[in-house]
A = this chain, B = another copy of it.
């Protein structure tokens, strides 16, 4: 986290530095980001940078933190009421909010994506220990409420499921870009179609009638229940 020196800076200068850093971290994978470029863009001296932050990682964590806070605030404002609609519809809303965030804060969103997919595992873990609660627990929270209302299978492992949901949500976006790369986020309909497919799986599963017909008596049941917990 920034040194006091940075926090004491005039707002305008602070913002200049944050902007320059966000630009850089959104534009390059962490290992390729350059302090030199950041300070040049922010128009501060090299030495000053190290008066503000311990090192590059310190700045990075700070920007990640800002991005996370911004996202959380955005979500909280956009999704004030979960009560009226069912869990899977809420998931849809959350997803839409995520897309919207990507549109409104492409830089922060991009930074988060780069981190999430970052190859620097140890850095990632360090960041996670700091920020994970905020983002990951979001789904867990929703799941818990849904469980209370009986909207989800009572026996599933909520924490595990929330993790899978997170990953699946990301996968939907990835799949979209894989199939329609470079189209941007213009055609929301296609994206939503994929989301529906994903939600269908999560909701109903994919086992077909043939499966139950053929295997239901051969101890599969036990196998299944062991997966509940």
Contact = CB atoms under 8 A, between A and B. Distances in A.
Interface of A: 29-32, 86-88, 114-115, 117-121, 125, 128, 146-147, 149-154, 156-157, 160-161, 163-164, 167-168, 170-171, 174-175, 178, 181, 193-194, 196-211, 213-215, 220, 223-224, 226-229
Contacts of A229: 193, 197
Q: How many copies does the complex hold?
A: 4
22 contacts: A29-B120, A31-B32, A86-B214, A86-B215, A88-B207, A114-B119, A118-B119, A128-B178, A149-B214, A150-B209, A151-B210, A153-B204, A156-B197, A156-B200, A161-B197, A164-B168, A164-B171, A164-B175, A167-B167, A167-B171, A197-B229, A198-B227
Contacts of A86: 211, 214-215, 220
A119 B29 contact: yes
A153 B206 contact: yes
